[in-house]
Amino acid sequence: MEKIFNFDIKAFMSHPHNESDVREEIIHPILKALGYTVNGPNRILREMKLLHPYIQMGTNKKKIYIFPDYILQVNKKCVFVVEVKSTLKNLDNQEYISQAYSYSSHREVNAQKFVLCNGNEFVVYDHMYLEPVLRLHLEEIEPRWNEVYKQLSPDTFLRPHIFNYLPDYGLQCFRLGFTNIEQNFYGAWVGTIARLDMNSFTISLVVQSEGKEFEASFDFDETLYHDFLAQIPSAKRWHVENSLSCAPFSYHTQIKNDSFPVSFTAVLNDKILFNKDEIYIPFKIKNFI
């Protein structure tokens, strides 16, 4: 469980608080934990000045400006808006929802999502849906942090595919007892190739087994690197080599035209690996065929 707040959140909720309190004590820690800062590529913009459409005042048109509480940017693209209310305000009020929606859909923002928070509840809306995609009481924020992160983190907008994991093929083989069996993979389409360190690499791809799709990872060392390159079409080979020789030392395919098939023999590794997103068992490639 992530530790977001350094105080008793239930005690905070038991007393009335104004918008400034909610911003400082609730919203700022949440945005920081998500990975947003006032500088850098994942940026917090406070009360950004936006031009409202002209308002007719009698026979004159007058420029009116609006100021959303927070606009969040990822690589200079606005991704969601946060509108803060006091603890006495009801977030089901259609006026508040419409206000936050109008900020997020403003032509200078054009964000996909918006958030309402009153120090008691935290509600996330997505323009694609009428109902909230996430609604939490504040005491649920920490135990359900993975849900908040999935909706609002920079990764959500940069790498949405990481939240849609297929089951791991290595774990499936381990459960079936295929621990020392060499398997041949013919014409497997590479999704990602990454350098793990100076002497090792890993490939990720989708494997079909018994009518189901699985994600699979395949590791190999420097001695097989040139055999791997030999299977890449010449039009893509230079790009793959260049991507693996400089940070972030990986080649990702966005569309099938970026991908390419490889054939190899591999055996299941003997270690279960963990990261913040998944549990998996990689294979070790024995040779490219």
Which domains are present in the chain?
9-160 (3.90.1570.30), 169-288 (2.40.50)
- In this predicted model, what pLDDT tens digit does every residue of 239-248 receive, in sequence order? 899 989 987 7
Average pLDDT, stretch 31-51? 85
Which two structure tokens, joined as six digits, stand for 79?
């991704």
pTM score of the predicted model:
0.56
| Residues 22/116, Cβ–Cβ less than 8 Å | no
- In this predicted model, what pLDDT tens digit does every residue of 45-88 receive, in sequence order? 986 766 555 444 444 555 545 678 999 999 989 999 999 999 99
| Residues 31/44, Cβ–Cβ less than 8 Å | yes
Residue type at position 250: S
- The helix or strand, by DSSP H or E, that contains position 230, with its residue range, turns out to be helix 225-230
| Cα 261 to Cα 112, 144, 165, 217, 288, distances in angstroms | 35, 39, 21, 15, 12
